[in-house]
A and B are shown apart, each in its own frame.
Chain A
Amino acid sequence: NAGVTQTPKFRVLKTGQSMTLLCAQDMNHEYMYWYRQDPGMGLRLIHYSVGEGTTAKGEVPDGYNVSRLKKQNFLLGLESAAPSQTSVYFCASSRGRDYEQYFGPGTRLTVT
């Protein structure tokens, strides 16, 4: 039981490049979330999903897209990376909206 895993762990992009971050969970959770963590600001919700095939915007969705084609996977895409997207990205999953969220180890992204 691996819990929540994220791929890759580190990535450096040039401005304008695109990439996809993969989150996978093996707990059969319905809900999945993407957060970004910036110094002095805590975690902020980017997008979330309440089930396979669904997505919804969080607090800071601009510049990101997501997809949940399979229940166990939640992908976060950056179509045209900007330096303001330099951050640590965390994925999380939960059984439902009022259950504990389990977090992955994070992806550190630097955009130059």
Chain B
Amino acid sequence: GDSVTQMEGPVTLSEEAFLTINCTYTATGYPSLFWYVQYPGEGLQLLLKATKADDKGSNKGFEATYRKETTSFHLEKGSVQVSDSAVYFCALRSTDYKLSFGAGTTVTVRA
């Protein structure tokens, strides 16, 4: 079945550092890809998405590009803030419209 693999955490960074979280997927057909963020004590929120190859999703300074050739959707931010501390989930929506999530990566940003 379709699945998502993302880099394990936890990741600890200093403020203004560059963040990359790797995500690769296995899927039949052409899935849509998502990054969700979960702040402490809250539910998941959609951070960004891409629905076809070479699409770039962006939001709040985060970016991810749908790379069909490498089956990847890596999340990047050029300068993180303490407020970016959260758990980040990569996910794909299969052709049957179900969401499959990666295991999540915990990011802590220190001032």
Contact = CB atoms under 8 A, between A and B. Distances in A.
B103 A40 contact: yes
Given A41-B103, A42-B104, A103 B44 contact: yes
Interface in B82-111: 89, 91, 93, 97-104
B103 A105 contact: no
Classify chain A's interface size.
Answer: 10 to 19
B46 interface: yes
Contacts of A43: 44, 89, 99, 101
B43 A104 contact: yes
A62 interface: no
Interface in B49-108: 89, 91, 93, 97-104
- The prevalent SS among residues of A at the interface is loop
A1 to B, nearest CB: 15
Given A43-B89, A43-B101, A97-B97, A105 B43 contact: yes
Interface of B: 4, 32, 41-46, 89, 91, 93, 97-104
Interface of A: 4, 40-45, 58-59, 90, 92, 97-98, 100-101, 103-106
